[in-house]
């Protein structure tokens, strides 16, 4: 089993960020000097993947333009002698082989993943949600790939969330198995359960490695929570699934508080010292 392709769903409306997402994809919301989806693509590339399919929707053309080559901009930067900025712009277009397919109707994450079937074929693939940034010394996707290839099965990233947040997530049932370093078997998953019915507070965190069996299961899965085709419902039917407890910082850029936290926390270890100092000074002022 070898994972060589990644799929990034990026077709949602981003309603929690309206009105800014009325004309701008939520995946293009900036975190410091890069749009959210660039961090996601970079994570896949750092995990050794250079074949990436992004599933878009109506009004998401800005994503394609961002990863495309911009001749006019590059010429202007070179003429102005702004070579450091030129390098950063050129690096974006050279990150990976990026392909696109448009989801015709927004009908849930499970429906979006179905659009990857022709591109992925019978191969296992990494799945990274386009509005979630995970900061870690070792890319989360790389860890999942290592575990998936070692056990030849699907592997999901899980994180312990506050119990009051459990109804917002797909939640893992690990039975009597204690999570630990490495991966562990998962018995079942429940999509957005009431807090008092949740089997655990181990939530799916937007990173997966899935075998191609998931496509057949999605075809036979009925619509679930919210009247949408839920990926979690199809994952429940996989013969063997393992989990990895997330080690790192996760930011859900689909909501404003998490987006703000991402900008502040990530600025404190940005490679630009001027940004670090400015944010640290601001935080000191606010603490007075």
pLDDT score, position 154: 95
Give the C-alpha separation, 216 to 234, whole Å: 9
pLDDT score, position 179: 60
Strands 97-102 and 51-56: parallel
pLDDT(288) > 60: no
Regarding predicted confidence, which is higher, 42 or 177? 42
Mean pLDDT, all residues of the chain: 90
pLDDT score, position 181: 63
Enter the tokens of residue 238: 């996989």
Enter the tokens of residue 49: 């993947």
Any alpha helices (H) in the chain, and if so which ranges?
36-46, 61-67, 71-79, 83-93, 109-114, 117-120, 140-151, 213-220, 231-235, 256-267, 273-287
pLDDT score, position 51: 96
- pTM here is 0.91
What radius of gyration do the chain's Cα atoms show? Answer: 19
Regarding predicted confidence, which is higher, 113 or 192? 113
Helices (H) and strands (E) in the chain, counts: 11, 14
Assign 63 a pLDDT band (cuts: 50, 70, 90). very high
* Contacts with 69 (C-beta within 8 Å, 6 or more apart), sequence order: 90, 93
pLDDT score, position 177: 67
Enter the tokens of residue 175: 């039975």
pLDDT(140) > 90: yes
For the stretch 19-36, pLDDT in tens is 888 888 999 999 998 999
pLDDT(180) > 70: no
Assign 86 a pLDDT band (cuts: 50, 70, 90). very high
Give the C-alpha separation, 186 to 272, whole Å: 41
Q: What is the mean pLDDT of residues 248-252?
A: 90
pLDDT(178) > 70: no
Beta-strand runs (E) in the chain = 5-9, 30-31, 34-35, 51-56, 97-102, 125-128, 132-135, 154-160, 170-173, 183-185, 188-191, 202-210, 241-245, 249-252
For the stretch 254-266, pLDDT in tens is 888 999 999 999 8
Q: What is the mean pLDDT of residues 8-18?
A: 85
Using an 8 Å Cβ cutoff, are 109 and 192 in contact? no
pLDDT score, position 124: 96
pLDDT(160) > 70: yes
pLDDT score, position 91: 93
> Which H/E stretch holds residue 111?
helix 109-114
pLDDT score, position 228: 85
Assign 102 a pLDDT band (cuts: 50, 70, 90). very high
For the stretch 216-227, pLDDT in tens is 999 999 888 778
Q: What is the mean pLDDT of residues 43-57?
A: 95
pLDDT(107) > 80: yes
- Using alpha carbons, select from 131, 115, 136, 133 the residue that is nearest to residue 250: 133
């Amino acid at each position: 089993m070898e994972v060589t392709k990644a799929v990034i769903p990026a077709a949602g409306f981003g309603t929690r960020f309206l009105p800014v997402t009325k004309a701008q994809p939520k995946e293009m919301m900036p975190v410091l000097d890069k749009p959210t989806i660039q961090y996601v693509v970079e994570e896949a590339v750092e995990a050794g993947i250079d074949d990436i399919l992004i599933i878009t929707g109506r009004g998401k053309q800005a994503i394609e333009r961002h990863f495309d080559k911009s001749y006019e901009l590059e010429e202007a930067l070179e003429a102005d002698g702004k070579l450091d900025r030129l390098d950063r712009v050129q690096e974006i277009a050279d990150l990976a082989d990026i392909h696109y397919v448009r989801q015709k109707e927004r009908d849930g994450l499970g429906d979006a993943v179905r659009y990857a079937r022709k591109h992925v074929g019978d191969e296992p693939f990494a799945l990274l949600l386009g509005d979630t940034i995970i900061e870690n010394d070792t890319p989360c996707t790389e860890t999942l790939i290592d575990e998936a290839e070692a056990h030849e099965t699907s592997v999901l990233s899980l994180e312990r969330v506050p119990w009051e947040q459990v109804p917002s997530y797909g939640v893992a049932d690990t039975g009597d198995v204690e999570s630990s370093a490495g991966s562990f078997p998962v018995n079942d998953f429940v999509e957005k359960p009431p807090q008092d019915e949740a089997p655990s507070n181990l939530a799916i965190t937007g990173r997966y490695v899935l075998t191609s069996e998931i496509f057949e299961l999605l075809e036979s899965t009925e619509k679930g929570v919210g009247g949408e085709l839920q990926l979690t419902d199809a994952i429940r039917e996989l013969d063997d699934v393992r989990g990895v407890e997330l080690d790192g910082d996760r930011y859900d850029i689909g909501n404003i508080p998490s987006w703000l936290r991402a900008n502040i926390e990530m600025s404190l270890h940005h490679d630009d010292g001027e940004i670090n100092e400015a944010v640290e000074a601001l935080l000191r002022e606010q603490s007075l």
